[in-house]
Chain A
Amino acid sequence: MLLIEADGKALLARHGLAVPRAALVRAGEAAGFCLDGSGPWVVKAQVPAGGRGKAGGIVLCRTPEEVEVSLARLLGTTLRGHPVTACLVEEAVCGAAEHYLSLMVDPAGLGIRIAWSRAGGVEVESAAPPAACTTSPDEAAILAAAEEILATADPAERTALRGAVRDLARALLAEGLLLVEVNPLFIGSFGTLAGDAKVVLDLNLAEGQADLRALVLARPDAYPDAVRKLQEGFDYVELDPEGEVGLVTTGAGLSMVVVDEMTAAGLRPLNFCDLRTGQLRGDPTRLVRVLDWISARPSVCVVLVNIFAGITDLGEFGRLLSDALDRTGLRLPVVARLVGTGAAAGRAELARRHPGVIVEDDLLAAVARAATLCKP
C-alpha cells in the first residue's frame, strides 16, 4: 500500500533521512493552526496517489493568508479519487538543487533497484532516464552500487547523496518496504532534505509487526481500505460511495472483472470485495459485515453475489449466506451466481431458506439481472 507523504517521511526520518519542518493539518483543525517559520510554505494534500502536483494538490504559498486559503480550498475535496482529509504545511525549500533518488524491490531482477537523477522535480519523467542498477538486498551491496551510479555527481553532491542512499537502504530493508522514492531530494549547504516521499508498505508485514500495524491503524481516514483489511482479514474497497450495486465476491482478479464489466454495462458498483470464502470455516461473520456495509449506503439497490469456488465449498457457503441474510434482515434484492465445488448443494440451501434470492448460472446474465433490478 502507498503511504501518504507525511507517514512516508516519518518512516524515513526514523532511519535518519532529513525532512523539512512541517505540520499536518486535518480537516476541522485549520482554524486553530499555528504556522511555523517565516515562509514561504507549501501546502500539500495528503492522499495516497501520484500526480498530486499536476492535479492541483500542491500549492506554494507566500503568506499565512495564502496558506489559510489553500487549506480551506483543499481540505474536504477529492483528489485523484481520494478524499483530502489532511494537508501537510511545510516550509518551502528555495534555491536548492532538486534531485531524484529511489530504491525499490525489483521483481524481475529479484533484487533492489537503485535509481538517481540530477533532474528531479515534477518533470522527472520527461527528463533523461535516471542512472539505475539492480543489486542484492543488503546494505553493503546497495552502497557499492550507489558508488557506481553516482560516479557522475559532483563531489560535494555525492557526499550528500551517499548519506541519503544509506538512510533509504536502511528504511527499505528494516521495514520490509517495496519502494522508497524521494523526488525532489533537495541538496544544498544544509545537506539533503526530502521534498516528497513515496513509500510503499508491505501490508502482509503490517499484519504481524506492531509498529507498522499501528502506523496504518492510526489513519482510518487516509487508509480506510487497509485498516479494514487489517481488522477484518479480507479486502473490501469502497469505489463509489453512491454506488448502486453492492458486491459480495471472492478472488481478486474475478472481483475486479465483475467491477469492470458492471461499469462497462453502465452500472455503478459500490465496492470491490475479495472475501476469501475459503477461509470462512463455518462462520458467517465476514458475510454479515459486508452486507452491513453495503446496506449502510442508501444508494444501493441490489446485491450481487459471485463465487467461483476452487478452495471454497459452496454447500457450506449457501448455508453461511443464508445465515447472514437471516442475521442482517437484508431488505435489498439479491442475485447470486455460484459455480464450482458444491454448487448444487449451495443453490439448494438458498432455494430452501431464501427462495427470494435470484440464482443465475452465468456471470453476464447475473450482471444483466442486477441491472434490471436497479433500473427497471
Chain B
Amino acid sequence: MIPSLSAGTKVLVLGLTGRMGRAHAARMRAYGTNIVGGTAIRVGTAEEQDGLPIFPDITAAVAATGARAAIAMTPPGGTRAAAESAFAAGISLLVTVAEGVPVHDALAIGRAARAAGVTWVGSSTPGLAVPGATKIGFLPDVALRPGEIGLMSKSGTLSYEVGYRMAARGLGQSLWVGVGGDPVKGTRFADLLPVFQADPRTRAMVLVGEVGGAEEEEFADALTATRGAKPVLAVIAGREAKEGVSMGHAGALTWGEFGTYASKRARLTAAGARCFDNVEALVEALAQG
C-alpha cells in the first residue's frame, strides 16, 4: 500500500484518546494527513474527540470509514493485540510507534502481517511520509520537503538530521520510511528497494543505517541482484559503538564480527552504494547531483 499513499489516504489512529495519540493526531492533521477517526485507549470512554469519531473497536472503525491505513499509538505491551485486531479488521498498512515491544511479540506480528499479505511498518518507528501530501507518524515538519530522494532509516533522529540538512539545501524526499531500530520488524530496507525502484518520483535513495543486525547486508544483496538500480547513498551510525551493549536501539547490538560498521560498509560498497563518513558529506554529494 505504501506506493499508493496520497493526501487523500484515510488514516485511523489506534489509541487516539491517549496523550500521544491526541497530540500527534493534531500534528498529523495540521500537516494535511486525512485522519478519519480512531479507537480509544479504554473502550467506551468517548464517542468523539477534537471533531474525530471514536469507534468501539478497529473493526467498527474500518467498516464506518473505509480506511485501510492505521497508526497504533499503543504502549509496547499492547502492540501485538492492536496489530492482530487491525489485520483481522482488514487494515493493509499498519504503522506502530511503540518502543520496547518484546522481540517475540514482534515475531508474531510480523508473521501475522505476512500471512494476511499486508504491510507493517514498525515495531518502533517515527513513521513514514510522502512530503507535501501525507505523514503517518511524527516525522518533524522542519525535515520534510517534497523532492525526489527516497529516504529510509532505522533511526528517527538521525533521519531528521539528514532530512533537515537536505531541506536546507533545497533537496527533498519523494517518500520517507522509518523502518525502526528494533531487530525484528515489519518492513526492512530490502523490502523498500523495489518500492523506490518502481516509484517514478524517486531519483535516488538514501539509506541511513546503523550497527547491529544484518539489514544493511541484506539490502546490499538485493541491490546487487537489481538490474538498473537507482543510485544509493548511505551513512551508517555506530562506528564507535561498544560491543555487547545495545546502543539505544534494541537492534543496535554487535558481538564479535556480527553487525559491525566494517561489515555493513564493505557489503554496501561492494554492491555499488556510495558510503559516507558523515551526514554532511552525504548531503553534499546529493546536492552535487
| Contact status of A235 and B107, CB under 8 A, knowing A178-B183, A204-B76, A308-B157 | no
Q: How many A-B residue pairs have CB under 8 A?
A: 197
CB of A142 to closest CB in B, whole Å: 13
Question: Which parts of B143-189 form the interface with A (CB within 8 Å)?
Answer: 143, 153-161, 164, 181, 183-185, 188
Contact of B155 among A51, A178, A251 (CB under 8 A): A251
Residue A107 interfacial (CB < 8 Å)? yes
Whether B255 and A198, one on each chain, are in contact in the complex, defined by CB atoms closer than 8 angstroms, is: yes
B227 contact set on A, CB distance < 8 A: none
Contact of B249 among A50, A225, A253 (CB under 8 A): A253
Contact of B237 among A82, A253, A308 (CB under 8 A): A253
Whether A254 and B111, one on each chain, are in contact in the complex, defined by CB atoms closer than 8 angstroms, is: no
Contact of B140 among A226, A264, A340 (CB under 8 A): A340
Residue A287 interfacial (CB < 8 Å)? no
* Most A Cβ at <10 Å: residue of B138, B184, B215: B184
Whether A250 and B244, one on each chain, are in contact in the complex, defined by CB atoms closer than 8 angstroms, is: no
Whether A310 and B160, one on each chain, are in contact in the complex, defined by CB atoms closer than 8 angstroms, is: yes
Q: Is the interface of B mostly helix, strand, loop or mixed?
A: loop
A363 contact set on B, CB distance < 8 A: 161, 279
Residue B60 interfacial (CB < 8 Å)? no
Residue A176 interfacial (CB < 8 Å)? yes
Whether A264 and B277, one on each chain, are in contact in the complex, defined by CB atoms closer than 8 angstroms, is: yes
- With an 8 Å Cβ cutoff, the count of chain B residues facing the other chain is 67
A276 contact set on B, CB distance < 8 A: 99
CB-CB contacts of A234-272 with B at 8 A, as 1s and 0s? Answer: 010101000000000011111111011101100001001
Contact of B210 among A225, A256, A308 (CB under 8 A): A256
A49 contact set on B, CB distance < 8 A: 243-244, 255-256
Residue A364 interfacial (CB < 8 Å)? yes
| Contact status of A204 and B245, CB under 8 A, knowing A253-B210, A257-B158, A310-B140 | no
Classify chain A: how many residues form its interface, as a range.
35 or more
Whether A105 and B244, one on each chain, are in contact in the complex, defined by CB atoms closer than 8 angstroms, is: no
Contact of A253 among B114, B138, B154, B239 (CB under 8 A): B154
Whether A272 and B248, one on each chain, are in contact in the complex, defined by CB atoms closer than 8 angstroms, is: yes
A198 contact set on B, CB distance < 8 A: 255
Residue B31 interfacial (CB < 8 Å)? no
A136 contact set on B, CB distance < 8 A: 111
Residue B103 interfacial (CB < 8 Å)? yes
Contact of B250 among A82, A202, A250, A308 (CB under 8 A): A202
A207 contact set on B, CB distance < 8 A: 100
Residue B104 interfacial (CB < 8 Å)? yes
CA distance A178 to B107 in the complex (A): 11
Residue A303 interfacial (CB < 8 Å)? no
Residue A111 interfacial (CB < 8 Å)? yes
Whether B104 and A202, one on each chain, are in contact in the complex, defined by CB atoms closer than 8 angstroms, is: yes
Residue A208 interfacial (CB < 8 Å)? yes
Whether B188 and A108, one on each chain, are in contact in the complex, defined by CB atoms closer than 8 angstroms, is: yes
Contact of A310 among B157, B240, B241, B248 (CB under 8 A): B157
Residue B253 interfacial (CB < 8 Å)? yes
B188 contact set on A, CB distance < 8 A: 107-108
Q: Is the interface of A mostly helix, strand, loop or mixed?
A: mixed
B242 contact set on A, CB distance < 8 A: 81, 225, 237, 239, 272
Whether A308 and B278, one on each chain, are in contact in the complex, defined by CB atoms closer than 8 angstroms, is: no
| Contact status of A48 and B244, CB under 8 A, knowing A1-B253, A253-B159 | yes
Whether B218 and A176, one on each chain, are in contact in the complex, defined by CB atoms closer than 8 angstroms, is: no
Whether A105 and B184, one on each chain, are in contact in the complex, defined by CB atoms closer than 8 angstroms, is: yes
CB of B13 to closest CB in A, whole Å: 15
B245 contact set on A, CB distance < 8 A: 1-2, 48, 225-226, 237
CA distance A137 to B101 in the complex (A): 17
CB-CB contacts of B86-129 with A at 8 A, as 1s and 0s? Answer: 00000000000001111110011011001000000000001000
| Contact status of A252 and B157, CB under 8 A, knowing A111-B107, A235-B247 | yes
Chain B: which residue is nearest A202 at the CB level? B103
B126 contact set on A, CB distance < 8 A: 310
CB-CB contacts of A207-222 with B at 8 A, as 1s and 0s? Answer: 1100000000000000
| Contact status of A274 and B248, CB under 8 A, knowing A308-B164, A310-B157 | yes
CA distance A51 to B256 in the complex (A): 6
B278 contact set on A, CB distance < 8 A: 257, 260-261, 264
CA distance A260 to B185 in the complex (A): 26
CA distance A339 to B249 in the complex (A): 22
CA distance A137 to B241 in the complex (A): 30
Residue A153 interfacial (CB < 8 Å)? no
Residue A203 interfacial (CB < 8 Å)? yes
CB-CB contacts of A170-210 with B at 8 A, as 1s and 0s? Answer: 00010010100000000000000000001010111101100
A50 contact set on B, CB distance < 8 A: 243-244, 255-258
Whether A108 and B218, one on each chain, are in contact in the complex, defined by CB atoms closer than 8 angstroms, is: yes
| Contact status of A200 and B253, CB under 8 A, knowing A253-B210, A310-B156 | yes
CA distance A100 to B279 in the complex (A): 41
Whether B248 and A110, one on each chain, are in contact in the complex, defined by CB atoms closer than 8 angstroms, is: no
Interface residue ranges, B against A (CB under 8 Å) = 76-77, 99-104, 107-108, 110-111, 114, 126, 138-140, 142-143, 153-161, 164, 181, 183-185, 188, 190, 208, 210-211, 213-215, 218, 235, 237-250, 252-253, 255-258, 277-280
8 nearest A-B residue pairs (beta carbon): A253-B155, A251-B157, A252-B248, A50-B256, A253-B158, A274-B248, A48-B244, A254-B157
Can you name 11 extra interface pairs (CB under 8 A) apart from A252-B157, A253-B210, A257-B279? A81-B243, A82-B244, A105-B183, A107-B183, A107-B188, A178-B183, A200-B255, A202-B102, A253-B159, A253-B237, A339-B164
28 A-B residue pairs with Cβ-Cβ distance under 8 Å, sorted by A, are: A81-B242, A107-B183, A107-B185, A107-B215, A110-B107, A111-B107, A202-B102, A202-B250, A204-B102, A207-B100, A237-B247, A239-B240, A251-B155, A251-B160, A252-B157, A252-B248, A253-B157, A255-B248, A257-B158, A257-B235, A257-B237, A260-B278, A308-B157, A308-B161, A309-B140, A310-B140, A363-B161, A364-B280
